[in-house]
Amino acid sequence: MIAQLEVPLGEFNVAPEGPEDGHLVTFRDLSPVEEPTHLESALPPALARHVVEEALSLTRPVRCRLTVEGGGETASLDVPLEYDPEAVPEFRLRTPDGTQGIRLVLNARPDEQATLNLDVRYAGLPVDRALSYARFLSALYRKEGTLYLTRLEPEEEKFELLELPLPLDPVGKSEVEDRLRLLEALDEIGRATGAEIVYPEEIEDEDLREINHVLKAIRSGWVAQRVSDFATPLTPESVKNLLELVDQEGEVSRAFYQENGFEIRRVLNVQASLGPSRWYISGARLQTTRAEMEEWLASKPRQGDSFEARWVPVDDVLVHFFYPEWPKPSLDVVGRNLEAFEEEYGMDSEEFRRAWETGEPRARSVEEGDIWISFLEAQEALEQGD
């Protein structure tokens, strides 16, 4: 039996997951956001001095472009640069104070040493700008080629700064790649939903779960999620009905299916609209006790009061969320997953279901057999809903 009980989305308690458990985007040891990503590299002293000397006559910041070229690909970053007269006796070009998110310093010292320093702070940046910074940093470490500095005004002049890729320790490289994947995901979500996302000061595990949920929803129209428990808000009359079920059945278990008119998910600092959605779980057991329900009824609840009955998934089954407005229709998504199981294990889905229900070893040995069954059950529920 499918229960017709309302379950607000916020009442699902997501089960603990491993760091890579079904996630499209993951973090490993990402440094705190408030710490800048830092790059430093030596430059040929004569080149650095020449670049700075070319800027001595400039009385205001000028537009410049850093460009990575190599392998037929380019990545560029536009920054304002100005001559720093307070650095004497050193020759120094730097980004002006107040430049948002990035600090670049090209420095030539009297002892014939020269360096290029680049610091990027992502917090507070619009995601599209933060993504452009992350892609540029990634190109510095991944691509063989050359880094150029082009002064775009008053006349365009291009300088070859150094050969790439820059050396980077494995931890630093994985951090750059992790942040790039996250920003690409946030940019995809923003473009798909219209949400104007700003990179936050801090990202929690819950933020990452929501990002992955929304990303899966917009890419496939379907999300399977493992939850530890969930609650259904019940009126006094519904609580009485549930008590009658407890009297009749002892342990109450039900499948749940619900349609939601408009689902909104929070992605970091903004809300992302996913439109109408459906969710389904093939089996959940009532965890709330008879005594708890009777005690609440005895308290004489007022009109409008509700009681939260708590349910626990049976045999760790998944909750399936379907989003019909997103790229792939829900039934098509389930059908393709069923076809993938049939192709991998050489067994028709109905044949597998019969073997599973009778406990045949060939079915029970399928590592993700419970997921296969949940797809079959979800398909039936969706067809009934249509």
> Do 256 and 172 share a structural domain?
no
For range 238-252, the mean pLDDT: 92
Is 120 inside any structural domain?
Answer: yes
pLDDT digits (tens, 9 = 90+) for 284-307: 999 999 999 999 999 999 988 999
pLDDT at residue 35, rounded to an integer: 55
Average pLDDT for 222-247: 92
Rounded Cα distance between 330 and 217, Å, is 10
Residue 29: inside a domain, yes or no? no
In a domain, 191, yes or no: no
Number of domains in the chain: 2
Residue predicted with more confidence, 5 or 26:
26
Q: What is the C-alpha end-to-end distance of the chain, expressed in Å?
A: 17
**Residues 227 and 361 both lie in one domain:** yes
Instruction: Read off the pLDDT band of 13 (50, 70, 90).
Output: confident
Alpha-carbon distance of 164 to 141, in angstroms, equals: 7
Please check whether residues 60 and 176 belong to one and the same domain. Answer: yes
Q: Does position 28 have pLDDT exceeding 50, yes or no?
A: no
Are 289 and 146 in the same domain? no
Q: Is residue 216 part of a domain?
A: yes
- Considering only residues 17 and 154, tell me which one the structure prediction assigns the higher pLDDT: 154
Please tell me whether residues 174 and 285 are part of one structural domain: no
- Cβ atoms of 195 and 174 closer than 8 Å: no
Average pLDDT, stretch 136-146? 85
Q: What distances in angstroms separate CA 322 from CA 255, 263, 287, 334, one per listed residue?
A: 16, 11, 26, 10
- 380 and 240 in one domain? yes
Residue 180 reports pLDDT greater than 50: yes
Q: pLDDT grade, residue 31 (50/70/90)? A: very low
Whether 238 is covered by a domain: the verdict is yes
pTM of the complete model: 0.73
Average pLDDT, the chain: 84
Strand, coil or helix: 78: strand
| pLDDT tens-place string over residues 301-322 | 998 899 999 999 998 899 999 9
Task: With residue 229 as reference, give the H or E element that holds it.
Answer: strand 227-234
Tell me the pLDDT tens digit for each residue of 320-362: 999 988 874 457 668 878 988 898 888 999 999 999 999 999 9
In a domain, 64, yes or no: yes
Query: Is residue 308 located within the same domain as residue 356?
Result: yes
Q: Looking at the structure, do residues 176 and 245 belong to the same domain, yes or no?
A: no
Range of the domain at 309: 2-18+204-385
User: At 95, is the secondary structure helix, strand, or coil?
Assistant: coil
Q: Which residue has the higher pLDDT, 38 or 161?
A: 161
Is residue 7 located within the same domain as residue 65? Answer: no
**pLDDT score of 29 more than 50:** no
Question: Based on the domain organization, do 248 and 330 belong to the same domain?
Answer: yes
96 or 384, which is more confident: 96
41 and 9, same domain (yes or no): no
Same domain, 113 and 227: no
